């Protein structure tokens, strides 16, 4: 495989609404991001994945775009965006834009035109269908945000498809002009000097809705090859597809360099492991660590040289991993560092979600009036109708709801964590007085410095990027593996639990690379690992 820059960097995701507010309106913005580039440089990251900053009525916080070539009013102007890009590039940080092209906002000019009638040139940019024979919805496709995926349009007597909210009508990728309009828009951003694209629910663009096919549709890869050729293929960019249903075989279709599609995908197999099989994400069950190891190890080994992994625990759609599978109370610092070490030592491009590097935690709510997220709010109404109790639903929201990750980043211990001088669009987690960037930077043992070290190591040690992976057989709660490269061997050992765990190895320690404990490890035989202990040693 030819070596690429995006295989060697760590990416940091910014959710701009909650990152840093520069003008006191309570909403994070682009100037706030520019102000904080020094912080990201200190962390050492090589790229930013920027959640959408385009013009949007914010039904789904920017994932409903009404103009791809304009900036959301609350976030600033195109000049702010250009200044941000140029400052980031000066600091050697590439900016990977979110590309949301499975759907637009219903306030996008294309959809406003499309609604004008069946003969409008933009009509076919979207997916329309006649009512079924009984006069109802065309079929039983469901929206990811609850309810039917079809919305009736009185004027034309047809339904349009929305796999997300009804303010997010699905684009029709079968339409060539529509695809060309998307490519033109992508080139508009490439010309501005961006570092790539994160492609929102890209596995849906090959859909054949009337046959009930949504993800992995028959023309999906054909469209991606065309997109590659028409846009980023001529440049050296990072492209990562959000692909919920990907298996390693499917991931190779997207990311095998010989196929000219994407750099890598986000796969979510590990993320679903605390969900009851065949049910929704809200239907909880404890994660099984043996299964987690099996899944992560499978992804490490099965891609071989025919694909590339991304590595992540968190993003703006997921609860904070430290609260989910770590321990955000008595072992907050230890478990956060352990999760970081475990993930960053694997093969693939690691992603850090804002606040992860300081150990931000979930924020439980006690009433639905505290929720802001459309997915959460719709699900609440839907499940109440289905007979769930309020308590049951709130429990699921507190474990899985998307607002958990969307609380503002706390920069210091002052009012509203220094995020805003105004009133934040969503309240901060009350623990911001202890868990904030300033406190982390002032404490040499903080989670931040573990992340900083991991990022630095990845720049210096090719074994972290290119080394082979081998899982070690241990008790379920210990996750341990080797990385091996050009005769060098690293042993990674982590205790994924609140209890002491046994671990033993015949290997001899050459050097300690990183650990989450102050006390140095001296030997590997018959160890009793402390709760959440994690270390990496170079061995003979
Ligand atoms: C995935 C995004 O990550 C999520 O935030 C959004 O709601 C849906 N796609 C729809 O765009």
Sign of the Cα pseudo-torsion (115, 121, 122, 123, in order):
positive
From ligand 1's centre to the CA of 185, what distance in Å? 19
From ligand 1's centre to the CA of 269, what distance in Å? 17
pLDDT reported for residue 50: 99
pLDDT reported for residue 519: 86
| Distance of alpha carbon 190 from alpha carbon 12, whole angstroms | 20
Architecture of domain 5-53+84-102+176-450: Alpha-Beta Barrel (3.20)
Q: Tell which one of 100, 166, 372 to mutate to probe ligand 1, the residue whose CB is within 8 A of the most ligand atoms.
A: 100
Helix (H) or strand (E) holding 241: strand 238-242
Determine the atom of ligand 1 nearest the C-alpha atom of 63. 11
pLDDT block averages, 10 residues each, the chain of length 540: 93 99 98 98 98 98 98 98 98 98 98 98 98 97 98 98 98 98 98 98 98 98 98 98 97 98 98 96 97 98 96 98 98 98 98 99 98 98 98 98 98 98 98 98 98 98 98 98 98 98 98 93 96 97
Determine the atom of ligand 1 nearest the C-alpha atom of 103. 11
Can you tell me which residue has the tokens 């000097």? 193
Query: Burial of 24 by CB count in 10 Å (0-12 exposed, 13-18 middle, 19+ buried)?
Result: exposed
Q: Tell which one of 164, 271, 353 to mutate to probe ligand 1, the residue whose CB is within 8 A of the most ligand atoms.
A: 164
From ligand 1's centre to the CA of 200, what distance in Å? 6
Burial 10-22 (b: 16+ CB within 10 A, else e): bbbbbbbbbbbbb
From ligand 1's centre to the CA of 507, what distance in Å? 45
| Distance of alpha carbon 443 from alpha carbon 482, whole angstroms | 31
Third-level CATH fold of 466-539: Immunoglobulin-like (2.60.40)
Nearest residue to 285 via CA among 400, 198, 195:
400
Among candidate residues 200, 226, 261, 317, the one labeled active-site is 200
From ligand 1's centre to the CA of 478, what distance in Å? 33
From ligand 1's centre to the CA of 63, what distance in Å? 6
| Distance of alpha carbon 11 from alpha carbon 9, whole angstroms | 6
Among candidate residues 64, 203, 242, 261, the one labeled active-site is 242
Q: Tell which one of 13, 15, 63 to mutate to probe ligand 1, the residue whose CB is within 8 A of the most ligand atoms.
A: 63
Instruction: Dump the DSSP string for 280-322.
Output: -TTSB-PPPHHHHHHHHHHHHHHTTTS---EE-S--TTS--HH
pLDDT reported for residue 2: 84
Sign of the Cα pseudo-torsion (272, 274, 280, 282, in order):
negative
Nearest residue to 233 via CA among 265, 201, 258, 268:
258
pLDDT reported for residue 166: 98
Determine the atom of ligand 1 nearest the C-alpha atom of 145. 7
Nearest residue to 262 via CA among 229, 295, 217, 300:
229
Determine the atom of ligand 1 nearest the C-alpha atom of 375. 7
From ligand 1's centre to the CA of 535, what distance in Å? 35
pTM here? 0.98
Same CATH topology for 5-53+84-102+176-450 and 466-539: the answer is no
Q: Judge whether 387 and 303 are in contact, CB under 8 Å.
A: no
Which residue ranges have their beta carbon within 6 Å of ligand 1? 60, 63, 100, 164, 200-201, 242, 316-317
Instruction: Report the nearest-CA residue for atom 6 of ligand 1.
Output: 63
CATH class of 109-161: alpha beta
Active-site residue flag, 200 = yes
| Distance of alpha carbon 390 from alpha carbon 373, whole angstroms | 17
How is the chain split into domains, by residue range?
Answer: 5-53+84-102+176-450, 109-161, 466-539
Determine the atom of ligand 1 nearest the C-alpha atom of 100. 11
Q: Judge whether 57 and 65 are in contact, CB under 8 Å.
A: no
Q: Tell which one of 102, 166, 201 to mutate to probe ligand 1, the residue whose CB is within 8 A of the most ligand atoms.
A: 201
């Amino acid at each position: 495989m030819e070596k690429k820059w995006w295989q060697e960097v760590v990416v940091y995701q910014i959710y701009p609404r909650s990152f840093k507010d520069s003008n006191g309106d309570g909403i994070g913005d682009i100037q706030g991001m520019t102000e904080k580039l020094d912080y990201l440089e200190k962390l050492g990251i090589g790229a930013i994945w920027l959640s959408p900053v385009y013009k949007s009525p914010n039904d789904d916080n920017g994932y409903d775009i009404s103009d791809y070539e304009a900036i959301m009013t609350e976030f600033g102007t195109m000049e702010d965006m250009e200044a941000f890009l140029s400052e980031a590039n000066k600091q050697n940080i590439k900016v990977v834009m979110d590309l949301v092209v499975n759907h637009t906002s219903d306030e996008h000019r294309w959809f406003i035109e499309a609604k004008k009638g069946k003969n409008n040139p933009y009509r076919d940019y979207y997916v329309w269908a006649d009512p079924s024979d009984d006069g109802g919805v065309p079929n039983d496709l469901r929206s990811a945000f609850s309810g039917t995926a079809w919305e009736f349009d009185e004027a034309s007597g047809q339904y349009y498809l929305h796999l997300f909210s009804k303010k997010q009508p699905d684009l029709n990728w079968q339409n060539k002009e529509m695809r060309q309009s998307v490519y033109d828009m992508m080139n508009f951003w490439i010309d501005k000097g961006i570092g790539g694209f994160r492609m929102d629910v890209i596995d849906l663009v090959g859909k054949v809705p009337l046959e009930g096919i949504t993800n992995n549709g028959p023309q999906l890869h054909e469209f991606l090859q065309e997109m590659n050729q028409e846009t980023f293929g001529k440049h050296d960019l990072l492209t990562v597809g959000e692909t919920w249903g990907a298996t390693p075989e499917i991931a190779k279709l997207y990311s095998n360099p010989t196929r000219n599609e994407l750099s890598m995908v986000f796969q979510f197999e590990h993320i679903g492991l605390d969900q009851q099989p065949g049910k929704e994400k809200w239907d909880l069950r404890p994660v099984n660590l043996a299964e987690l190891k099996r899944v992560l190890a499978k992804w490490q080994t099965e891609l071989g040289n025919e694909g590339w992994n991304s590595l992540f625990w968190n993003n703006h759609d997921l609860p904070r991993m430290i609260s989910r599978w770590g321990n955000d109370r008595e072992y907050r610092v230890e478990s956060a560092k352990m999760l970081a070490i475990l993930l960053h030592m694997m093969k693939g491009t690691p992603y850090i979600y804002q606040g992860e590097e300081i150990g931000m935690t979930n924020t439980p709510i006690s009433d639905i009036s505290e929720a802001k997220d459309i997915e959460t709010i719709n699900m609440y109404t839907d499940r109440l109708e289905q007979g769930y109790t309020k308590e049951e639903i709130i429990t699921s929201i507190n474990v899985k709801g998307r607002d958990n990750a969307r609380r503002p980043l706390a920069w210091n211990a002052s009012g509203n964590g220094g995020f805003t001088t105004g009133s934040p669009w969503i309240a901060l987690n009350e623990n911001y007085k202890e868990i904030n960037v300033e406190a982390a930077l002032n404490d040499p043992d903080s989670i931040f410095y573990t992340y900083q070290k991991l990022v630095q190591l990845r720049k210096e040690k090719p074994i972290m990027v290119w080394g082979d992976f081998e899982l070690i057989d241990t008790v379920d709660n210990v996750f341990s593996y080797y990385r091996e490269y050009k005769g060098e061997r690293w042993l990674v050992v982590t205790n994924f639990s609140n209890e002491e765990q046994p671990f033993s190895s015949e290997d001899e320690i050459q050097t300690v690379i990183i650990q989450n404990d102050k006390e140095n490890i001296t030997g590997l035989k018959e160890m009793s690992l402390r709760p959440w202990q994690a270390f990496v040693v170079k061995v003979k």
